[in-house]
Amino acid sequence: MNYIDKFLGSFDNSTPNSWSGRKLSAFAGVVTAIVLTYLLPNEAKLHALYAWLLFSLLCLSVITAQQVINFKNGNGDKNATLDQKE
């Protein structure tokens, strides 16, 4: 299976031995963030970097939309960890 088939197969869940669409989206978000940090004016670079890296984290399900909303509103649990052991 060549690279083009794997790339196109990433968007189809039933294709075996293909790359993941989530991973491709996250990769595209990181590449876009890198490119925009060079192309945008200095005032907009940091905001664009945050937005595209947040998109990448959401694609990989490292963070959830609810966690982002809680952080933005300031009502998240400051003592909570990602792997809460009992």
* Tokens encoding 51: 């937005």
Residue 33 lies in domain: 20-73
Look at residue 57 and tell me if it is in a domain.
yes
The model's pTM is 0.59
Residue 20, exposed/middle/buried by CB under 10 A (0-12, 13-18, 19+)?
middle
Number of domains in the chain: 1
Q: What are phi and psi of 30, to 5 degrees?
A: -70, -40
Look at residue 80 and tell me if it is in a domain.
no
Look at residue 64 and tell me if it is in a domain.
yes
Look at residue 43 and tell me if it is in a domain.
yes
pLDDT tens for each residue of 39-75:
989 888 888 888 888 888 888 777 777 887 888 888 7
